[in-house]
Structure formats: C-alpha cells, structure tokens
Amino acid sequence: MATTDKTSPRDRLLDAAGQLFYRDGVSIGVEALCRAAGVSKRSMYQLFDSKDEMLAASLERRIPRYAALLAPADPEAGTPRERILHVFEQVERASTDPDYRGCPYLAVLVELKNPEHPASVVARAAKEQLERDFRTEAERGGARTPELLARQLMLVFDGASARAGARVERLDDGLATATVTALLDAAGVK
C-alpha cells in the first residue's frame, strides 16, 4: 500500500485495515496492519484504543462507499422492482472481480461470532439498513408482505455474496437476479 505525506496516519490505518480485514480476515495482526499503513504501533494505539476499535471504525467508514456501490445512480429512477434488482446486479458484477470476498459486513459477523464486539455492532447496523431499504422498496412496489420479502432478499443477498466470495458459486450467469425475480413475482412487486 502506497502512502503519501498528505494522508493522515489515522486514514492510512483505516485504509489498510479495510483492505487487510477484507482480504485476510479479522485475525490479521496489529504489526501487519501498522506495516501496511506505514504507521508505528505506538501511533496506532494513540489513535485507537484497540484493534477492535480500529476494525469497527474501518467498517463504519466503508458504509457510504458500500451503499453507493449498491444504489442506482439516481435513487428515484426506475421502479421499486428495478431498484431491488439493481442491488443484485451489482453483487453479480462485483463477484467477477478476482479480489471479491463477499459482503464485508456479513464476513465480519460470521468471523467474529460475538454480537457485542464493536465491529459486529457496526456490521449488523449496515445489514439492518440494507434490509430496511429492501422493505421500503417492497412497500413502494406493492409487495403483499414487504417485511417477509425484505428478509427473503437479505437471505439471497447474504447467501449469494457468501457463496461467490468463497468461490463455490458463480453469479455471472444471473443466478441471483433470477432468484430475486422469482421472489418479486411471488410477492407481487411492480
């Protein structure tokens, strides 16, 4: 990771944490994080109380970029059905990247297993926001049971991203969007 004098040590740590935690998992060591960021351990502990706090901060920082990746360029364009399908088209597209490891928030929740861990709290909030977004679109689209549909969409989203991230499933053939289309049809979403 290249560093510049213009980037603060905090930002370099958060950038390195985001990349390394996503690529290698949350068990990556503090020394490796500091080395990648070009920051001393002492500086890291002056900026963050713990590696756990840094992980949570890196996840929090990533939320706007992740949400923007999933959202259509114009959030009011198209129908609710098209906006929901867009999310899954983005997952399918992202899954073709050789560095794709699935949803970073799901990965943290699965890896940590502790719902009280600071990073789990951030990850769960990100996942809950996506579910609320699905429910809102389902309501706008006239779904018979928007809450149930939102939960089903989350199941497909998490399953598709986890399986593609683990390289046990390919999504480049439209499998996720086909599955979601069947759910949307069954729920009556326009």
DSSP assignment of 84-134, as one string?
HHHHHHHHHHHTTSTT--S-HHHHHHHHH--TTSHHHHHHHHHHHHHHHHH
Fold entry, domain 55-187: Tetracycline Repressor; domain 2 (1.10.357)
Residues of the chain with CATH 1.10.10: 1-48
**How large is the average pLDDT for residues 131-154?**
98
- d(Cα 100, Cα 102) in Å, to the nearest integer? 6
Query: pLDDT-derived band of residue 146, with 50, 70 and 90 as boundaries?
Result: very high
Distances (CA, A) of 111 to 14, 48, 114: 19, 21, 9
Query: Considering the entire predicted model, what is its pTM?
Result: 0.92
Fold entry, domain 1-48: Arc Repressor Mutant, subunit A (1.10.10)
CB 134 within 8 A of CB 178: no
What DSSP designation does 78 have? Answer: S
Residues of the chain with CATH 1.10.357.10: 55-187
